[in-house]
Amino acid sequence: MTQVAPAPTTQPDLPAYTPLHRPRLIAPGPVEVDPRVLLELAQPQMHHRAQAGIEKLMEARAKLTALLGDPYDAVITTSSGTGAFEGALVSTTPVGAKVVNAQAGKFSERWGEMAARLGYDTHRVARPWGALLDADEIAGACRDAHTLTITHSETSTGALHDLEAITRAAKAANPDLIVIADCITSYGVAELRPAAWGVDVIVSGSQKGTATPPGLGFVLFSPEVQARMIRDTPRGFYLDLTRELAGQKAGNTPQTPAINLMYALSAALDRLLGVPLEVLWAEQRRKTDALIAAGTALGAPAWATRTSPAVAVLTPPPGLTGRAVAGALAGMGQRALPGQAPHEDSVFRVSTMGYSDRYDALGIAGILEDAFASLGVPFTRGVAVAAAWAALA
Ligand SMILES: *Cc1c(COP(=O)(O)O)cnc(C)c1O
């Protein structure tokens, strides 16, 4: 009797990345965007001076204020977050004034460079990357300063600096101080209570917490700081936000804004405002804690001690580099990021900001397992997913 050959017992293998996989943005900006938000961009060209365009500007500004939770007035700039920050600085801080720049990472360093280039009397209060800023040290430097620039969520290190304690200490030392906070990855992401904490100006950008395509910056001014804003600043024309704020309050932008993006922004804000701010913040915290737990289970713990809910900045185990991990993820179609120079190899960065939920965090934990396995890291299958799940529970 002839024997039939047994059927193969293994299924054909699926290579690491094929058209069957779904590419994901798991970097801390730009982030995934809700298809309903993208559809807002697929309309006949709108006009910013038409009644509908004016109403869309006012609607988006009102929602930006709602996302802050305090009665600050929003200016939307057609720029990235850096342009918005520059506008905030030149529109509140007179030529030659003393600016204290608190820095402990890439983005906070940028604001020091900016202030120095703009000719301000710039005093840097620096801590090493990954470390936390010190409230007393900053307060001491602010005694005779005009403005403090500070970054709340330092996306390069994953640290969430204690903006409340620092602002309270700095304002106690100098009640006239203007505090400009880079909240580019904390606005809509982390607990932020600027009125109670004394933060005068909040800066952000569209491609981070608000899950909108890149191209818009946001500056939210407290009622008190508006009376102190500079008219006709000699340090900016396009970025004269005193003029821009007056215009936008009346439904009018002095220049042509990225009106299409404002439609997208307004739709994206509906999703975030669909739950109370406390719920939004807590869920984002849990998602990032899940990524940190997953990384820790794989031997890649968080770099910072007080971690930002915007991004997991993880230190790879010995023998692996941040670029190797980010490269393995990129090979799987998953866009994470290594560290920022000079720390490209010290860390890799993964984020669930944007159009992403807790099940994406679980999926990313599984993706990290596959990436680490491909890099030859020994671990027990399932540990990262289990750790992520525990953090979400
Ligand atoms: C992304 C980012 C910036 C820079 O924003 P752009 O929109 O790229 O100009 C500044 N600060 C922080 C904390 C960021 O995450």
pTM of the model: 0.96
Q: What is the pLDDT of residue 10?
A: 73
Work out the mean pLDDT of the chain and round it to a whole number. Answer: 96
Q: Which of 78, 153, 184 to mutate to test the pocket of ligand 1 (most atoms within 8 A of CB)?
A: 184
Ligand 1 atom index nearest CA of 185:
15
User: What's the pLDDT score for residue 7?
Assistant: 62
Interval between CA 242 and ligand 1 midpoint (Å): 22
The pair of structure tokens assigned to 260 is: 């299409």
From ligand 1's centre to the CA of 155, what distance in Å? 8
What pLDDT does residue 17 have? 85
Distance between CA 116 and CA 369 in Å, rounded? 44
**CA nearest neighbour of 224 among 54, 92, 362:** 92
pLDDT at position 120, please? 98
Per the structure block, which two tokens stand in for 297? 């289970």
Q: Does the beta carbon of 206 sit less than 6 angstroms from any atom of ligand 1?
A: no
Q: Which atom of ligand 1 is nearest to the CA of 28?
A: 15
How far is Cα 12 from Cα 30, in angstroms, rounded to an integer?
35
Q: How far apart are the CA of 146 and the centre of ligand 1, in A?
A: 23
d(C-alpha 270, C-alpha 94), whole Å: 37
The closest residue, in CA terms, to atom 2 on ligand 1 is: 184
Compute, in angstroms, the gap from residue 184 CA to the centroid of ligand 1.
6
Question: Using a 6 Å cutoff on CB, does residue 184 contact ligand 1?
Answer: yes
Q: Is pLDDT of 254 > 90?
A: yes
212 C-alpha to ligand 1 centroid (Å): 14
Ligand 1 neighbour 107 (Cβ under 6 A): yes
Residue 27 has pLDDT above 60, yes or no: yes
Which atom belonging to ligand 1 lies closest to the Cα atom of 154? 13
Assess whether pLDDT exceeds 80 at residue 3. no
pLDDT per residue as tens digits for the range 181-231: 999 999 999 999 999 999 999 999 999 999 999 999 999 999 999 999 999
Residue 1 has pLDDT above 60, yes or no: no
Q: Does the beta carbon of 151 lie inside 6 Å of ligand 1? A: yes
User: How many A from CA of 13 to the centre of ligand 1?
Assistant: 40
Ligand 1 center to 9 CA (angstroms) = 51
* 3-class SS of residue 162: coil
Higher-confidence residue of 1 and 103: namely 103
Confidence of residue 85 (pLDDT cuts 50, 70, 90): very high
DSSP label of 50: S
Question: Structure tokens of 23?
Answer: 């590419």
The Å distance, Cα 49 to ligand 1 centre, comes to 30
List, for residues 270-316, the tens digit of each pLDDT value. Answer: 999 999 999 999 999 999 999 999 999 999 999 999 999 999 999 99
- 81 CB near ligand 1 (under 6 Å): yes
The whole-number pLDDT of residue 6 equals 63
CA of 107 to the centre of ligand 1 (A): 7
157 Cα–ligand 1 center, Å = 13
Query: Is 330 exposed, middle or buried, given 0-12, 13-18 or 19+ CB atoms closer than 10 A?
Result: middle
pLDDT at 2 over 80: no
User: pLDDT tens across 342-386, in order?
Assistant: 999 999 999 999 999 999 999 999 999 999 999 999 999 999 999
Does ligand 1 come within 6 angstroms of the Cβ of 185? Answer: yes
Residue 335: phi and psi, rounded to 5, are -85, 90
- Ligand 1 pocket, 266 CB below 6 A? no
321 touches ligand 1 (CB under 6 Å): no
45-69 per-position pLDDT tens digit: 999 999 999 999 999 999 999 999 9
- pLDDT for the residue 11: 78
For residue 11, give Cα distances in angstroms to 8, 14, 318, 353: 8, 9, 34, 36
Q: Is the CB of 148 under 6 A from ligand 1?
A: no
Please give the number of the atom of ligand 1 that sits closest to the Cα of 206: 7
319 CA distance to ligand 1 centroid (A)? Answer: 30
Q: pLDDT for 335-344, tens place per residue?
A: 999 999 999 9
| Residues in contact with 374: Cβ distance below 8 Å, sequence separation at least 6, in sequence order | 16, 328, 331
Extract the tokens encoding 198.
């004394």
Report the alpha-carbon distance of residue 199 to residue 197 in Å, rounded. Answer: 6
The pLDDT, as a whole number, for residue 8 is 59
**Confidence grade of residue 16 (pLDDT, cut at 50, 70, 90):** confident
The amino acid that residue 130 corresponds to is G
